[in-house]
Structure 1
Amino acid sequence: MLISNTIKRLKLKYLTFIILCTIPLLSFSQETESLNPVSLESILLETLPLDGRVVDDDDSFEELYDDLLLAEVVTTDDLHALINTQLIPVLDIEKEICKQMIESEELSATVSNGTYTASLEDVEWIRKGFYFTVVGLVRTMLDLTHETDETEFEDI
């Protein structure tokens, strides 16, 4: 009986040891992936809405990648967090920009975060209802994020 209890305690200690050692290893394996230009483009094309979207060229994604790093968006989780918090407000802004440009037949629009202008080559896209580029949408997200940060510092 004494040997049986000793074996049970040893098994329990061994099992506890295994569990305590495995948990940290699992957390390391679930570590977030660093953002790179390929993962950036892939995430944006999979995550952002399809309607009203113009896809940019590879150079635009590489420039956006550099801007994201400057804004301290360095992991795929950071990018997902940016999209999750800013997508709806940015889509509303972009729709308003397109609406103003179509209604006024001018190539400019003024919204809460600034004045936007379009080039002549964008007119065709805007009339068809394509009102944002993928890269432009993320740049507006960054603008809104930094606008919030600056407002917080002004209130201090």
Structure 2
Amino acid sequence: MYTTNNVYKLRILTATILFFGITCYGFSQEAVTFDTNLLRSTLLEKLPTENRNADNQEDIEDLYDDLQIAEIYTVNDLTNLIDTYLKEVLIIEKEICTQMLESEDAELTASVSTGTYSATFEDAELIKEGIYFTTVGLIRTMIDLSHQTEDDTDQEY
């Protein structure tokens, strides 16, 4: 009887440890809602280094607000957004830079599927390198693309 009681307690203890271990594992950093510091570190980790030229803390705070409005609350949500739209946004960026460089106008402008873009002559060197968006600009364009997709899906009834 003493052995049966200990085996029973050991099973309960093992089940409890497994339950909390699995629960804690599922509650990883990806499921954590982010703040501006975690947002910044995720952007630095997931986005190209070339686009980090002009972001400041105020831009990150504004982007944080935009992400909340777009219902992107967790690192996992942000990572999914980036994984889904980064290639497309980089293609758009390349198209923007190409149009600006080929333009015969005195202005640096481009019209692509997501809108019309302009740049100042101070940005000309970056545009020659194929860089138009900052990290914040990349994410905002991804948000726009994700909402266009949702709107297109809604209209297919």
TM-score, structure 2 normalization: 0.83
Cα distance change on mapping 1:55 and 1:15 into 2, 3 Å: farther
Q: Which secondary structure state, in structure 1, belongs to the residue aligned with residue 39 of structure 2?
A: helix
Cα distance change on mapping 1:34 and 1:52 into 2, 3 Å: closer
Q: Deviations over 1:74-119 (max 9, x none)?
A: 1111111111111111111111111111111542112222222223
Q: Deviations over 1:94-153 (max 9, x none)?
A: 111111111115421122222222233322321243332110000000000000111111
Contact 1:56 1:134 survives alignment (8 Å): yes
Residue 15 of structure 2 corresponds to residue 20 of structure 1: yes
1:64 counterpart residue number: 63
**Mapping for residues 2-151 of structure 1, pairs under 5 Å:** 7=3, 11=7, 13-30=8-25, 31=27, 32-51=31-50, 53-104=52-103, 106-151=107-152
Distance 1:108 1:27 in 2: 52
Contact 2:35 2:64 survives alignment (8 Å): yes
Q: Which secondary structure state, in structure 2, belongs to the residue aligned with residue 140 of structure 1?
A: helix
Contact 1:55 1:133 survives alignment (8 Å): yes
Amino acid at match of 1:7: T
Distance 1:150 1:20 in 2: 46
Distance 2:52 2:21 in 1: 38
Q: Which secondary structure state, in structure 1, belongs to the residue aligned with residue 55 of structure 2?
A: coil
Q: How many residues align?
A: 151
Q: Deviations over 1:30-75 (max 9, x none)?
A: 3122111111111101211123542411100000000001111111
TM-score, structure 1 normalization: 0.84
Give the share of equivalent positions with the same residue, in percent: 43
